[in-house]
Structure 1
Amino acid sequence: MKTHPAAHEPGHSSAPLTGFSQCHLGILSQLQAFEELPALQAAAAQAQTIATHTLALFHDAVYEHHADEERELFPAVLRSARRGEEADFAEAMVRRLTAEHRHIEALWKKLEPAVKAVAKARPVELDLGAVEELVRNYAAHARFEEEHFLPLAETVLRRNGNHMEALGLSLHLRHTPQPIGHI
């Protein structure tokens, strides 16, 4: 292999070549970061999708679910509970569950602006601690309701079949679109 004659001349510096080498290192480093771009794009798209679905979840499901419970289920159970200990127990649970609804909704209201920003692919710092608190609170709320309140509601409303049917009808009517027009 022939070498360039200037490479062996005395006083010749390799500084210009070192610059080319360093440039290659910088280019390769950036290209390695570039290789991660598709995965990061997928993660960003997934974050947008989750944020969008979470916004819809709260607006279309969580608030509606809380309203159904507070306007239909809780009053039905309180009306049908036997006076005394059962009614007192039901009332205490309804107060607790309603307070939990407001707490969960307040936690969501604090997170909602950041979640909207994520849904629109805007840079924002989402508070992981606040997200975990909301999820933890909702999980505890749902667990308490499933383990304690819904079994009581089943007992109370099943005593009289009409009470359970009335609740079902009331919920159905609440979610049926109202006709527009005059009779």
Structure 2
Amino acid sequence: MLKLDSLSAAAPSFDAPLEMLNACHDKVRHFCVQLDALPDYIQLHGHSQAVVNSIAGIVRYFEVAGPAHHQDEEDELFPLIMARQPDAAPKIEQLLGEHGYLHARWNAIRDDLNAYAAGTLGALNASEIHEFTRLYREHAAREEAWLFPTAASLISDAELHAAGQRMAARRTTPR
């Protein structure tokens, strides 16, 4: 089985889907730091091309990579865990609920970020941003503490490899 605590120096690939999903959480934390810093940066420096560029990167990450990450977990890990450990249902339901709640919270923040970048909103709501990033960090920590180790213990290497191939295919298949 995969060892999540022994990540190689090279970026994980779809050949190691649990390591890749775990590494995605590092990117989530990176973009949460950027997002958290925006309101104070804007207060000190105002609207600028650097802010617009930062917003574009943050929005792109949470609009594309974030939902794909959640779909990977929901389509590839949750069903296999449930099939082998039915008493995991409350934890899976909690994670599913968090995915939905984070998505809803993100939609409101995204709209404000895009409006600010376009110059049609005067300020960002720092408390909404900080609450979103706090919730996302807590969600990632829960997955790292339970979901990934549970998946590693219940899902075979062959199944994980097949899951990784499906994850990669979803990113190359036009919608």
What's the TM-score bracket when you normalise by the shorter of the two chains?
0.5 to 0.7
Q: Equivalences for 1:6-155 in 2 at 5 Å?
A: 40=45, 44-79=48-83, 81=84, 86-89=85-88, 91-155=89-153
Q: Distance in 2 between matches of 1:155 and 1:172?
A: 22
By relative contact order (CA 8 Å, sep 6+), the higher-ranking structure is 2
1:161 aligned partner: 157
Larger mean Cα displacement after TM superposition, 135-144 or 115-124? 115-124
Larger mean Cα displacement after TM superposition, 107-116 or 67-76? 67-76
Q: By how many angstroms is 1:123 displaced?
A: 3.8
TM-score w.r.t. the length of structure 1 is 0.64
**Contact kept? 1:111, 1:130, Cα under 8 Å:** yes
Q: For residues 12-67 of structure 1, what are the alpha-carbon distances to aligned partners after superposition, in whole Å with 9 as ceiling and x for unaligned? A: xxxxxxxxxxxxxxxxxxxxxxxxxxx836x6233212211111012111111111
Q: Distance in 1 between matches of 2:173 and 2:108?
A: 31
The one-letter amino acid paired with 1:124 is: G
**Contact kept? 1:48, 1:121, Cα under 8 Å:** no
Q: Distance in 2 between matches of 1:99 and 1:154?
A: 22
Q: By how many angstroms is 1:77 displaced?
A: 2.4
Q: For residues 123-161 of structure 1, what are the alpha-carbon distances to aligned partners after superposition, in whole Å with 9 as ceiling and x for unaligned? A: 42211110000000000000000111110000001xx33
| SS of match in other structure, 2:102 | helix
Give ranges in structure 1 of 5+ residues lacking alignment. Answer: 1-38, 179-183
The one-letter amino acid paired with 2:110 is: E
Q: Distance in 2 between matches of 1:176 and 1:113?
A: 27
Identity of aligned residues (%): 25
Name the count of aligned residue pairs. Answer: 131
The one-letter amino acid paired with 1:174 is: R
Give ranges in structure 2 of 5+ residues lacking alignment. Answer: 1-43
1:12 aligned partner: none
2:26 aligned partner: none
| SS of match in other structure, 1:124 | coil
